[in-house]
Structure formats: C-alpha cells, structure tokens
C-alpha cells in the first residue's frame, strides 16, 4: 500500500477539511481591509466597522476550532494505517530502520495536519493580497512581483543541495537504534557527530537562503512605503491597510520557500518509504 493509496481512502474528509481551510483563509484575508474600514468609521464617530471586524474574528474562532478538532482524529487514523502498511514490508530484524521509518511517517502526518493547512492559507492569502495590492497601488504591485521572483529563484537554485543533505541525514538516522543497541560509546559518539553534521549543513543552507531572501524583501518593503506615500490624497485607513497587506505579503513570500524545503524533504522520505 503506497502513501498515495492510503491518503485516497480519506479523500472526502480531505475535501471537507480543505473547504474549511479555504473559508478560514478568505476571512483572514479580509481582516486588514476591515481594520481599515473600522479606522475610517471611527474617525467619523461610527462603530459599524468595529462591530463587523469583531464578527469576522468570532467566525474565524468557530471555523478554525472546529477544523482542528476534526483534524486530529483524521490524521491519527492516517498515521496508524501508514505505520502498519510500511512496517509490514520491512524485515523483522530491522528494528533500527523500522523506528526511523515510523519517525519519518510522523513527519508526513505532521506536515499534513499542521503545515499543509498553513500552506494553503498562505497561498490563498498571498493571491488575495497581491490582488488587493494591485488595486491599491500599481507600483507596489510590480515591486512585489519582482521581489517574489528573486526569492523563489534563490530557493530553486539550491533544491538539489537540500535534497542531498536530507538524504544523507536520513541515512544516518536509520542507523540510530542499532548504534544505541550496540552499547558502544565510540560508535554512538560518531553517530551523533554525523547526525549533527548533516543537521548543521541543512541549517546553514537555510540561514543563507533566508538571509538573501530577507534582503530582497526589505528592499521591497522600503520601496512600497515610498510608493505608498508618494501617491498623495490617500485616506489614512486605506494607507494603513496597504501597509498591512505589504507586511502580510512579505510574510507569505518568506514562508512559502520553507514549505518548499519541507516538501523536498518529504519527497525524499516518500521515495525511501516506498522503495522497499
């Protein structure tokens, strides 16, 4: 039984879960806009905008809480099915490999339960925000597209290095139980050193990518503030909303590559689990 086959058994539950995520993401996307409305209404001594903003917040709590309650039970079943299917294909005497593979399955389920909803929300938010930015300021919109291109290019160019380092880390990880069972302090010290060596290399690559990307996005932030102020004749609420959307967009752009790196790691794990 492959990972894809197992996940297909839950396809309608996934449809329900991601429908809730989509609704939740759209509501979150509207919050900065309604903050702007609330500010403008407050200036006019009206509290209609504030009431509407509070209603959106309450709706997010209801939908988000209900989805997370449902999520935990579904993904617990997926973990059990994947674990049983994977371990049944590994020889009985390979305890170290079995333990490592269970940990890898846990990573996949963790991604599905926690990271994937955030990824969907981030993509929806990013698309919605860029549309709103385009409607508010064309120059800021063009700057956002240019910054996004360069950030994604940085991570794309390092994808092979990321996959190689994850593969090396997992190879060492699968030896862990055997090394511990051997009760040999020298072997254990070598194993732990190798684990940390690959982990540090992965961390260094992430730091490099993040730092270069953040420099690009800081340039976009400065440019967006200059472009926003230079237009003139803009209401304070609209200007405030634009700046918040710029911050949201930057957060999305800096977050998406992290999901891409996680996906590269999970692809390596998926090949490892199914190559039995």
**Domains present along the chain, CATH in parentheses:** 3-274 (1.20.1560.10)
Query: Torsion angle of alpha carbons 74, 80, 84, 87, nearest 10°?
Result: 120
160: tokens are 């092979």
In angstroms, the CA 230 to CA 223 distance is: 11
Mean pLDDT, rounded, of the chain: 81
Of 39, 251, 241, residue with least CA distance to 132: 241
Confidence band of 146 (pLDDT split at 50, 70, 90)? very high
Q: What is the largest CA-CA distance in the chain?
A: 75
User: CA separation (Å) from 228 to 36, 37, 216, 231, 245?
Assistant: 15, 18, 18, 6, 12
> ∠151-249-260 over CA atoms, to 5°?
45
Is it the case that residue 173 has pLDDT exceeding 60?
Answer: yes
Is it the case that residue 156 has pLDDT exceeding 60?
Answer: yes
Confidence band of 4 (pLDDT split at 50, 70, 90)? confident
Confidence band of 50 (pLDDT split at 50, 70, 90)? confident
Please tell me the predicted confidence (pLDDT) of residue 235: 63
**pTM of the model as a whole:** 0.65
- In this prediction, what percent of the chain has a pLDDT beyond 90? 4
Q: Are 121 and 21 in contact (CB under 8 A)?
A: yes
Confidence band of 91 (pLDDT split at 50, 70, 90)? low
Please tell me the predicted confidence (pLDDT) of residue 57: 83
The predicted-structure confidence for 116-126, as pLDDT tens digits, reads as follows 788 887 888 78
Is it the case that residue 75 has pLDDT exceeding 90?
Answer: no
Three-class secondary structure of residue 49 per DSSP = helix
Mean pLDDT comparison of 6-10, 31-35, 59-63, 214-218, highest-scoring range: 214-218
Average pLDDT score over residue span 165-183: 81
Cα dihedral across residues 245, 250, 251, 257: positive or negative: positive
Is it the case that residue 104 has pLDDT exceeding 60?
Answer: yes
Three-class secondary structure of residue 71 per DSSP = helix
């Amino acid at each position: 039984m492959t990972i894809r086959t197992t996940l297909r058994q839950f396809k309608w539950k996934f449809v329900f879960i991601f429908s809730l995520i989509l609704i939740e993401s759209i509501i979150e996307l509207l919050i900065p806009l309604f903050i702007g409305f609330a500010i403008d209404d407050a200036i006019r001594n009206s509290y209609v905008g504030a009431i509407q903003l509070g209603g959106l917040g309450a709706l997010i709590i209801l939908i988000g809480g209900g989805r997370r309650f449902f999520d935990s039970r579904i993904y617990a079943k997926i973990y059990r099915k994947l674990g049983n299917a994977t371990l049944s294909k590994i020889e009985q005497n390979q305890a170290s490999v079995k333990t490592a593979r269970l940990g890898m399955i846990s990573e996949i389920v963790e991604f599905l339960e926690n990271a994937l909803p955030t990824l969907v929300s981030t993509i929806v938010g990013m698309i919605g925000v860029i549309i709103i930015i385009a409607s508010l300021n064309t120059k800021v919109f063009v700057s956002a597209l240019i910054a996004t291109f360069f950030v994604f290019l940085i991570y794309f160019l390092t994808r092979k290095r990321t996959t190689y380092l994850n593969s090396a880390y997992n190879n060492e990880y699968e030896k862990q139980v055997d090394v511990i069972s051997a009760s040999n302090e020298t072997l254990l010290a070598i194993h732990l050193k190798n684990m940390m060596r690959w982990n540090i290399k992965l961390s260094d690559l992430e730091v490099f990518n993040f730092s270069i990307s953040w420099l690009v996005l800081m340039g976009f932030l400065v440019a967006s503030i200059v472009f926003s102020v230079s237009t003139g004749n803009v209401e304070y609420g609209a200007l405030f909303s634009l700046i918040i959307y710029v911050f949201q967009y930057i957060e999305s752009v800096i977050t998406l590559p992290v999901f891409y790196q996680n996906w590269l790691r999970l692809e390596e794990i998926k090949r490892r689990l199914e190559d039995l």
